[in-house]
Structure 1
Amino acid sequence: MNERLVETTDGLRLAVYEQGPADAGTVVLIHGYPDNHSVWDGVAEVLAERFHVVSYDVRGTGESGVPDSTAGYRLAQLSEDFTAVIDAVSPEAPVHVAAHDWGSIQTWESVTAPALSSRIASYTSISGPDLGMATAWLRERGHTGSTLRQLAHSWYVFAFQLPLLPEAMVRSGLLSRFVGGGPRPVKDQVNGVELYRANFLGKLVRPEPRPTDVPVQVLAPRDDAYVTVPLQTEAPRAYASSLVTRVIEGGHWVVATEPEQVAGEIAAFIEKVGVL
């Protein structure tokens, strides 16, 4: 595995990791909260047999730089980070992207940006809906039961808006016990709370979902404890013109627990799209 540092538009440096044949099609893997790039290790190993696989530590995590304010975690900046990474690793050819949890949430910002539509060949989203699409779906009539179930699953989102409480949960170990999926550095857990503070309330007030023509595959784990299957599979229908949804077996951290299954789904979708 090769490692490089990529500079962002606001002067941070992102730790970027590459493996697989350099002359193959590029697949970018983006992690969520409270993980770093290593949550993709099993998937990356499988995909690297055929593809140039790139993962990176999202700002505030792993070996990447840490913003000095909550504003540094806004979706627009995260999209600029993604652009900086693909400019560095695949400047001339479009990339395939797979993302999980907050990695998926932030990547929707890029997938629905007209300026990036030609840079993204396909997008596989796992357990991370677009916030604008999710808010619009929650406001729709006709699925009250599904809405209430999702709100019950999302209680922590509102707790993360409070000052001091999330940080106290992290340092006491309570958050790790709640989240599951193995131990993570305290720094990554604390910094990642700012993702919620920087983005959720604004999207609740003004969702403004945007359409996309990028081919999108949604993989919805059946036993996800945080994002329900209806939200994942139904919210993008009105906005993604080329959408495939699949319910897969597993829980929220399926990318770590079932890497061969996830890698197989990503590779099959890339083959279906037919852009390498």
Structure 2
Amino acid sequence: MPGFNVTQALFPSSDGTLIYAEAIGNKNLPAIVFIHGLTLTALVWAHILHDARLLEYFYLVAYDMRGHGRSGKPLTMEGHSSKLYADDFAAVSKGFGLKSPLYNGWYVIRACTVAADITTYLGPKAISGIIWTAPMPTTCHWYDTCHMPKLGLHVDHH
């Protein structure tokens, strides 16, 4: 994306595990933090993080969850507790100076449980909203019309 460089960082979580994160865009805009699904990494969001339409309105952040990609890989079950997943989010948020960002999770179970971890351990004000991203098309009738004018999106299958 012309004008924006990706900032890459490793932030220590509460147990010392290093969490790899990257951010792009204008820090003064509202932030969206992208959380990948099980067995994936932040690379799954690479195309979205460079979307000019999103960068016009949001500061975009993604990170590799503990045990994945470029983040630390705890070897014990205790290293994968709900509180630590919340602490990882807090470390990334603090590291990039985020205040109550939007949470965008890969729609499968992992992202759902991490959202619950965050609001349970950090409180409901840790995030300003939740977005579930479906990684595959759906054939559900309720999805036939989708309208999001602020992002310039409109899909009508009729």
TM bracket, shorter-chain basis: 0.7 to 0.9
- Corresponding residue number in structure 2 for 1:94: 100
Q: Give the Cα separation in 2 of the matches to 1:109 and 1:31.
A: 15
User: For 1:88 and 1:25, how far apart are their aligned partners in 2?
Assistant: 15
Pick one of 19, 23, 30 that aligns with 2:35. Answer: 30
**2:128 is equivalent to residue 121 of structure 1:** yes
Letter in 2 for 1:11: G
Distance 2:8 2:14 in 1: 20
Q: How many residue pairs align between the two structures?
A: 140
**Counterpart in 1 of 2:85?**
78
Q: Is the 8 A contact 1:27 1:98 kept in 2?
A: yes
1:23–1:52 CA contact under 8 A, matched in 2: yes
Give the structure 2 partner of residue 9 of structure 1: 14
Gaps in structure 1 of 5+ consecutive residues: 128-180, 182-219, 224-228, 230-245, 250-260, 269-276
Instruction: Name the residue aligned to 2:118.
Output: 110
Structure richer in helix, relative to its length: 1
Give the root-mean-square deviation of aligned CA atoms.
2.8
Structure 2 length-normalised TM: 0.75
Deviations 1:129-168 (A, max 9, x none): xxxxxxxxxxxxxxxxxxxxxxxxxxxxxxxxxxxxxxxx
Unaligned 5+ runs, structure 2: 1-5, 152-158
The 1:78/1:221 distance shift into structure 2, 3 A limit, reads: farther
Which one has a larger percent strand, Structure 1 or Structure 2?
2
Contact 2:118 2:126 in 1 (8 A): no
Return the alpha-carbon distance in structure 1 between the equivalents of residues 137 and 81 of structure 2: 27
Question: Separation in 1 of the partners of 2:61 and 2:121?
Answer: 23
Q: CA deviation at 1:53?
A: 0.4
Secondary structure of the corresponding residue to residue 77 of structure 1:
helix
Are the structure 2 counterparts of residues 21 and 65 from structure 1 closer, same or farther at C-alpha, using a change threshold of 3 Å? Answer: same
User: Shift of residue 114 of structure 1?
Assistant: 6.8
- Partner Cα separation in structure 1 for residue 75 and residue 121 of structure 2: 29
Cα distance change on mapping 1:88 and 1:69 into 2, 3 Å: same
Q: Matches of 2:66 and 2:118 in 1, distance apart? A: 16
Partner of 2:156: none
8 A Cα contact 1:60 1:66, kept in partner: yes
Quick one: distance in 1 between partners of 2:42 and 2:25? Answer: 16
TM norm structure 1: 0.45
Larger Rg: 1
Q: Which residue of structure 2 lines up, in the alignment, with residue 242 of structure 1?
A: none
Amino acid at match of 1:90: G
